[in-house]
Amino acid sequence: MLIENKQIAIVGGGPGGLTLARLLQLKGANIKVYERDFDKHARVQGSPLDLHHESGLAALRKANLLEEFKKHYRPGADKMLIVNEHAEILFSDHETHPEENFGCEHFRPEIDRGPLRNMLLESLQPETVVWDSQFVSMEKQNEGWLLHFKNGSTAYADIVIAADGANSKIRPYLTDIKAFYSGITMLEANIYDAEKATPEIHALLNGGKIMAFGNSKCLLMGSKGNNELGFYVSIKAEESWAANNGLNYVDKEQLLTWFKQEYAEWSTVWHKLLENTATPVIPRLIYCMPLDQTWETQANLTLLGDAAHVMPPFAGEGVNMAMLDALELSECLTSDKFKELKEAISDYETTMRKRAAMAASESLENGQVMHSKDALNSMLGVFNEHLK
């Protein structure tokens, strides 16, 4: 095996990095995961994740974790409503929601990020993850790399795999290609005790998700575990908007005033979101890697997930691409068909870039549709077609 007696460093303990660690450990590899969080108890934010049959779930099956996943996913959380700006329901699959079937390629079970991360962490050998290890820099040493972390520690690795997200600090060691702005900015927010704080919206969600469209704007929201509600205010905006709009992201009153102006034609029922949100609200500028990106393969360094191919979230492919990256990279690194590591990594990167470009293209197109004047009718057409 090409990685026999090699020390592998995975930088970043998200779903992609942890999945790769699990898959490689099953093959007997020497793995350390360097994660910037102080410990495993760090709160994991973000919307729930839906895993797909051919990617995220395929990786879990290979990692012998599908049965464990079934204990933690949230049945029915993929139910969908599409509403207009007045909260009038125009599409619902709540009554026709298909039976939960892990053998069906169209079934996309949802899981909160925290339980997924915990499940992956618990599958690893003790002390695999080195916490409080924020990557700062690295330099070539022997045939590998010497990594430096913010806490002053260092570590040597024969192979480094960047799983450190959209703002990867390792990516520049491989390529200077940068992501471009998609034209869309989202304000990410969370509501605790949603049943009490926003009873009308909580009841409308009914444990699932809502997509609301009107006037070239949209609201996206979904139920989370522990009676939480996550939502995104999504608009077309200049790249500098989030930094220069004068909004104080911890001031709910100011944010509500802005929302009433920006979403003036929308029902007052949506005001409850901003009135009850936890702060700070986080602006998320949506970026995408160029679809034709390429770089020269190295024998001791590669990327996966958002570090390799950050893309808009409008096709639900981000975490699924990262976990499929982990699956395909693990198979390349442990395959007997390659004579050297550079050949194995090149094979993975070529396939990964092509696959990610297709997903990114779909995501970009969906994002434009969802923020168009005819977004409501377009999305109704898509979802009604899925019911046939």
Annotated binding site for FAD: 50, 113, 306
- The backbone torsions φ and ψ at residue 93, rounded to the nearest 5 degrees and listed phi first, read -110, 15
Residues comprising the binding site for NADPH?
43
What is the C-alpha separation between 17 and 162, in angstroms, rounded?
Answer: 8
CB burial string 60-89: b at 16+ within 10 A, e below: bebbebeeebeeebbeebbbbbbbbbebee
Place of tokens 């915990």: 118
Sign, Cα dihedral of 53, 59, 64, 68: negative
Known binding positions: 43, 50, 113, 306
Write down how long the chain is: 388
DSSP for 173-201?
A: GT-----EEEEEEEEEEEESSHHHHSHHH
The SS3 assignment for 264 reads coil
- Among 74, 55, 71, smallest CA distance to 63 is for 55
Chain centre distance of CA 15:
8
Question: For every residue of 65-77, which 3-state class applies, written as one string?
Answer: CHHHHHHHCCCCC
Q: Could you give the count of Cα atoms lying within 13 Å of 225 in the half-sphere of its Cβ? A: 16
Residues 6+ apart with CB under 8 A from 16: 163, 304, 305, 319, 322, 323, 325, 326
Tokens of 86: 């007045």
